[in-house]
Structure 1
């Protein structure tokens, strides 16, 4: 592979992350300064989506867990946390995630926010530290827009990314532990859809069975703890979640899926689903082939975590905190084997995607997420194919000797 001089040299790789980090810090401080009664100028509460987690916890602790799926009741609970907030957020999570947020309302809103975000951020960083170390890498992570976006949104992408990353790091040596992590990821089932594909590709039956048992057990515990009405309300809410995605109640400009790309262009729902399905099938095939034929753990993980955003139509910009993992794995592979033309630009685009996704879609009515994600998946597939070919060649030479 080519290793010629590149514009993204060590000096720029050291300087740019520091500039971005300074910008995020200044923006954060300015945003805090402009808050009034814990809401910004658009009446969005501090922590944004986190207010839903706190409100659901409050309803459950007061014996009304199933009411979290009622938008009017949930909004009243949200105003207990931040009375000035006028933003409306819905709750579509399964009973298993309810168990995660259940203790939050035992704390005041701000304390609960920091407890949840810092603890899940700690898990996220702990898993990433298993992949890379070094000052340059840590500066790139600290200034990664996906990290800051999830922090500002008060969302759970640190937790889901940590679970997915931990599972991918432990599949080979600790299959039961990997299955436990995958089963716990069922708190957001649409983000776990590709794990069965990968596990079947390598015949990891122990991990697959453990994941299924964990997911079912976790769901059952949540249902028993909170009542069967919660499970019924969750299942009934899935239709509302579908409508929210299909008709843009959740802004398509914040959704890096092929479905959102098509809807933003004005494509009818049926055709948007059809085109999304075609791309999703192609992504599934890529994951299957990478896991079936390539033994490089880094490339397997990068393929699965990237393709997840091309399979589910219901993904949002804060979920792109996941991209820290494929970016890290592909960067390590590039440093080890050399770079092909355009690969470092793809990694930079993926690193910037959470920041640029919504502004570009808002200005141009064009969702760039699928283009960047497909480029990242193609880069991974090309490297995995080369690695598999090299392994096959080495095996053939070994047999010949």
Structure 2
């Protein structure tokens, strides 16, 4: 998308796409509200976790059988399962959910996420804040996140706040990155970037923030809960990829896409590890030698290639990556790639969802950003 207002064809296309997607989002969310759709909404997981923890031995939150039985009793007619895959620290910021009814909790949750995103965007895009915010909120990925009650608005806000503040306010950036450890897989490349860029103050503050949250969790809950998490997470991941009743296409990483195509798990994991190594090396190189905004765009894109467990709703951050790197007057192929990245999650709402293999355009975007960084066009990394 253009990084500043213009009257050219690219900007008119940007307006048309964002407006159409915004209208679609409003209609879809209105339908969901009108029909009171609830079952299989991911927010059910977040609302159930503190309730379970408050009424059961806390260690059982990593016990699949106990948690599944509780959720099915909590939600009559619900026959699925939302495991607690997170570190113990996540229970701290969601503890308040146990004191509020489901409907009000979901409203407050969504409104808070939107407010966080609206606050973070100006830090990263001070001169194009409204265009970027509109594009983020109108994206199909945002629709999926809002409809399911997921965490993408919060995680994207922390990423944008961190990288927006890093050049001038490294302490604020460190706090944002430290808080992102609540969902650590989305920050897997941040240490690589910070080390390569020499951001020692941000590293120190991020480490202290993460340690402080871990310490608070050990005061609030038994410290052994961390061992339970570390023990159960690999098995949950293996079981997820081995399941035959789940739609793996909503996971937008190389390993998940390969498993969805029928590739054996061990081969998919080898490819995933190789992707991490390659992406981390490129991000480190860009952090040291490339334009800052292109390096950030590469990190946001590479995050979905470097780790095995990220969903379509998490990809709201890819719209921010486009805003960081797309030239003001792009040629046809960057526009086509941007449109594919932006509109791709719509595929999940169509009969063609089986062919939603998002790692492919993600890899194309990552390669395009790296190429752009080698010879950045004039104005490509100007302050947005």
Q: Same fold (TM over 0.5)?
A: yes
CA shift in 2, pair 1:142/1:239, >3 Å: closer
Shift of 1:70: 2.1
Shift of 1:265: 1.9
CA RMSD of aligned residues (A): 2.6
Equivalent position of 1:383 in the other structure = 372
Q: Which has the higher contact order (CA 8 A, sep 6+)?
A: 2
| Count of residues in Structure 1 that have an aligned counterpart in Structure 2 | 371
Is contact 1:51-1:81 (8 Å) kept? no
CA–CA distance in structure 2, aligned partners of residues 223 and 271 of structure 1: 37
The 5 Å alignment of 1:155-166 reads 155-166=150-161
Equivalent position of 1:150 in the other structure = 145
CA–CA distance in structure 2, aligned partners of residues 196 and 140 of structure 1: 28
User: Secondary structure of the equivalent of 1:129?
Assistant: helix
Equivalent position of 1:169 in the other structure = 164
Is contact 1:183-1:212 (8 Å) kept? yes
The 5 Å alignment of 1:96-107 reads 96-107=89-100
CA shift in 2, pair 1:9/1:239, >3 Å: closer
Is contact 2:280-2:306 (8 Å) kept? yes
Equivalent position of 2:361 in the other structure = 372
CA deviations 1:181-201 (Å, max 9, x no partner) are 111111112111111111111
Equivalent position of 1:280 in the other structure = 276
**Structure 1: tracts of 5 or more residues without a match:** 1-5, 391-401
Greater Rg over alpha carbons, structure: 1
The equivalent position to 2:333 in structure 1, one of 338, 342, 346, is 342
User: Secondary structure of the equivalent of 1:26?
Assistant: helix
Q: What TM-score, normalized to structure 2?
A: 0.88
Q: What TM-score, normalized to structure 1?
A: 0.84
Is contact 2:241-2:248 (8 Å) kept? no
The equivalent position to 2:86 in structure 1, one of 93, 96, 110, is 93
Is contact 1:244-1:250 (8 Å) kept? no
CA deviations 1:211-254 (Å, max 9, x no partner) are 22221221121122122243232222213322234314653111
Equivalent position of 1:27 in the other structure = 28
Equivalent position of 1:116 in the other structure = 109
Equivalent position of 2:15 in the other structure = 14
**Structure 2: tracts of 5 or more residues without a match:** 1-6, 380-384
CA shift in 2, pair 1:187/1:26, >3 Å: same
CA–CA distance in structure 1, aligned partners of residues 45 and 257 of structure 2: 27
Equivalent position of 1:398 in the other structure = none
CA deviations 1:80-126 (Å, max 9, x no partner) are 65333333111111011111111111101111111112102211122
Is contact 1:54-1:105 (8 Å) kept? yes
